[in-house]
Structure 1
Amino acid sequence: MPETCIPTGVKLKDTGFGYTLSLIGGQYKMIILYWLYENKVMRFNELQRSIGTISFKTLSMMLKEMEADGLIIRREFPQVPPKVEYSLSERGLSLIPVLNMMCDWGEENMLVTDCR
Structure 2
Amino acid sequence: YAAKQRTPSARAVRDGELTELIMEIYNDSKQVYGIRKIHAELLRRGTKVAQCTVERLCRKLGIRGVVRGKFPRRPRLAPETDRPDDRVEREFTADGPNELWVADI
Q: TM-score, normalised by structure 1?
A: 0.37
Greater share of residues in strand: 1
Structure with greater Cα Rg: 2
